[in-house]
């Protein structure tokens, strides 16, 4: 399983994104693996399509990728607070880390700070 950060989903969805080719390559390379994202990440990704009136298209993109939604666990408030304190990342990024930890999954992101935090926590990167 690969937990996707919003940066990957956004780059794949928006044609003009600077990371579009990287996102498409990453998704093609791992097409045989299950993609997943935290509920917070999915919400973060969907903001742009909601604003632009393309929510149906964005939902179809998620369905085409077969992205599994990972809900926050019961102990999320404490664990997210700990991740935030240790990494100094924003809470949406901490949700990505928590999802990868809980699923024992690799993490895919184009965010350098999130990438480094994942490595520091011993997570595998895609």
Here the CATH number for the domain that contains residue 75 is 3.40.50.1010
DSSP state string for 15-42: TT-TTHHHHHHHHHHTTTS-EEEEHHHH
Per-residue model confidence (pLDDT) at position 4: 98
Please report whether residue 100 resides in a domain: yes
Cα–Cα dist 8/75, whole Å: 27
Question: Could you give the number of structural domains in the chain?
Answer: 1
Per-residue model confidence (pLDDT) at position 31: 95
Please report whether residue 126 resides in a domain: no
Please report whether residue 114 resides in a domain: yes
Please report whether residue 14 resides in a domain: yes
Structure tokens at 58: 């964005």
The continuous run of DSSP H or E covering 110 comes out as none
Please report whether residue 51 resides in a domain: yes
Please report whether residue 41 resides in a domain: yes
Do the Cβ atoms of 69 and 99 come closer than 8 Å?
no
> What are the tens digits of pLDDT across the range 13-31?
999 999 999 999 999 999 9
Specify the DSSP class assigned to residue 66: T
pLDDT in tens, the chain (126 residues): 999 999 999 999 999 999 999 999 999 999 999 999 999 999 999 999 999 999 999 999 999 999 999 999 999 999 999 999 999 999 999 999 999 999 999 999 999 999 999 999 999 999
Please report whether residue 99 resides in a domain: yes
Name the residue range of residue 40's domain.
2-120
Please report whether residue 125 resides in a domain: no
């Amino acid at each position: 399983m690969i937990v996707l950060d919003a940066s990957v989903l956004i780059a794949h969805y928006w044609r003009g994104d600077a990371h579009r080719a990287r996102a498409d390559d990453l998704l093609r390379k791992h097409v045989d693996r299950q993609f997943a994202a935290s509920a917070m990440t999915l919400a973060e990704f969907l903001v742009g399509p909601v604003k632009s009136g393309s929510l149906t298209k964005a939902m179809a993109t998620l369905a085409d990728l077969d992205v599994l939604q990972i809900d926050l666990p019961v102990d999320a408030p404490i664990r997210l607070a700990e991740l935030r304190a240790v990494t100094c990342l924003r809470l949406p990024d901490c949700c990505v880390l928590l999802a990868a930890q809980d699923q024992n999954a690799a993490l895919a992101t184009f965010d350098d700070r999130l990438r480094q935090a994942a490595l520091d926590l011993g997570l595998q990167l895609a």
